[in-house]
Structure 1
Amino acid sequence: MEASFRPFVRSISGDQMQLLKDAANAPGGAWVHDALGDPELFFALRDERVDVYYRGRAIYSIDFSGGKVTPRTHVKYLVLDDRDPYIKMQNGSFDYKHPYLQGDYQVSVSLRQMKAAARTFSGVESMGVYAAIKDDPFVIDVEVAFNRSTEVTEHDDLEVGRKQDRVDVVRLRRAGDGFDLVFWEAKHFSNSELFNDKILSQLAAYERQLQSRKDQLLVAFRNVCGFHRDLDQLRKSLGFKGAADTHLTTLEKLADESLPLNLVKEPSLFVFGFDNDQKVGRWKTRKERIEAVLGKERLRAIGNASKGFEPGGKKKGFR
């Protein structure tokens, strides 16, 4: 791996977490209050930043610089939900006879409109990943990028994205008296990469990243566990439903190293979106080939993505 790669970091200071709590309780903090109360949103910790995802789209990137909480969103998510995002040009001028973008944040209404706009950009693979992680308290990160500079969100420059190894999901898995840290790549059955061995090369690249960053990853994801514990405590203080108390205790123990955490250096593959005919047809032969390389334990292949990454996994520590 190139020497120019920066360390992998996941962190938020106590002061920054307090800023988020203060914002959620402030008169002008309706945007974060609404986001925390929405069970369809996923808060992902970065390096002194928090990205908020909806169906694979980063609708907020929250920054703490200057001692303030500053959310940033892509303009495409501000298109009003009853407007065509494509604007006509008439007589050499773009037709803006009616408002197209949101202005002042409106409680409940603005987030609903942002989610409607985001759905326009969510493909079948993003929707499947969303279905898989929804209501699974052991999913602790999404869109995990290893790159040569700083981490970017999904809406940043595509050329930067090509320089990344980006894993879809990081999940905790019970293992003995502790937990494994498992990295998952997700593919819809229609993705041609499943059938041309590109997926195997992709997983091999991820494995090299995991092997070279073991110590960084363990520190980073213990921090992530502490972040999710604090976040759910904040949700509960605001009157929203959060994770079960037993699950919060687990996160606390992982954060303070009271529980063992083991990095699984071989990433796993989650394949979804096939029907019964495809299961016994084209997929049968391909599945056997993938299992011959990865092993059966590293492949989870199901038609319905909402069943999640392991049988019954969503019932443990449910929200």
Structure 2
Amino acid sequence: MGSIANVVLRGRIFHFRRRVPDTLRPRLRLKELVRSLATTDLRAANPSLRSTTIPAIVTQVARYRATLTEQADRLAESYPTLCRDLVRLDALRRAVRAARGLAAVTTLDPLVDEVARGARLLRVDTEPRLVVFGFDADQRDGALKAVIDDLRGQHRLQVYAVGRPSGRTTAAFRPTKAA
């Protein structure tokens, strides 16, 4: 974890240390102000690291969830039109490639065709997921794990960490098991 401005470690206890401006030195009779923070935990020494406010991401996810819920029917109704457009574009792409003698490309997912034909209806899942990609030293040291545990536990968010949060690879999306 990085350093915090004006916080120093003396022995095992963190202290606040600040130079006294020259203009105040004669009155205070001090060159610097030093006060013990009475803690061995750097997080406790920094109020922003132990904030009791709701993290911004929780509010953002709540707004996103509300928008998804409000617009779910409209979004679901637009899927067939989008899929029909994708099928038409795919047909055009294939025709152009064939006319130019180019190799065939991968086909559209069968689900797109099924939705375009009306054989399959889609719905909107209104529960957002938060996917965290990549990690730095703070994550390896457990700081990110504590944040993710808080988001999952206290704020009930579905959080997926893609990286090596505990020394083993964690997949964001697990393939479904064959029945």
- 1:233, distance to aligned residue in structure 2 (A): 2.6
- The 8 Å contact of residues 232 and 243 in structure 1, kept in 2 or not, is answered as no
> Which residue, out of 141, 160, 178, partners 1:300?
160
Distance 1:218 1:309, change over 3 A: farther
Measured after TM superposition, the shift of residue 236 of structure 1 is 2.2
TM-score of the pair, normalised by structure 2: 0.52
Inter-CA distance 271–236: structure 2 relative to 1 (3 Å threshold): same
Gaps of 5+ in 2: 1-53, 165-169
Whole-angstrom distance in 2 between the partners of 1:218 and 1:308: 28
- 1:310 matches 2:173: yes
TM superposition shift of 1:218: 0.4
In the alignment, which residue of structure 1 is the partner of 2:82? 224
Give ranges in structure 1 of 5+ residues lacking alignment: 1-195, 314-319
Distance 1:308 1:228 in 2: 29
Q: Secondary structure at the match of 1:261?
A: coil
Taking the aligned partners of 2:171 and 2:78, their CA distance within structure 1 comes to 24
In structure 2, relative to structure 1, the CA distance for the partners of 1:255 and 1:285 (3 Å cut) is: same
One-letter amino acid of the structure 2 residue matched with residue 244 of structure 1? T
Separation in 1, partners of 2:171, 2:160? 9
Residue correspondences, number: 113
Q: Which structure has more RCO (C-alpha within 8 Å, separation ≥ 6)?
A: 1
Q: For residue 311 of structure 1, report the CA deviation from its aligned partner.
A: 3.7
Distance 1:242 1:291 in 2: 41
Give 2:150's match in structure 1, choosing from 289, 292, 297.
289
Counterpart mapping for 1:150-189 below 5 A: none
Separation in 2 of the partners of 1:270 and 1:261? 23
TM-score, reference length from structure 1:
0.31
Matched, 1:257 2:115: no
Aligned counterparts, 1:264-279, within 5 A: 264-275=125-136, 278-279=139-140
1:300 counterpart SS class: strand
Of the two, which has the highest radius of gyration?
2
Please state which structure has a larger fraction of its residues in helix. 2
- Aligned-pair CA distance for 1:221: 2.4
Kindly indicate which of the two structures has a greater share of residues assigned to strand: 1
2:118 match: secondary structure: coil
Q: 1:277 to 1:212 in 2, by over 3 A?
A: closer
- Contact map agreement 1:274 1:303 (CA 8 A) in 2: yes
Does the alignment pair 1:206 with 2:64?
yes
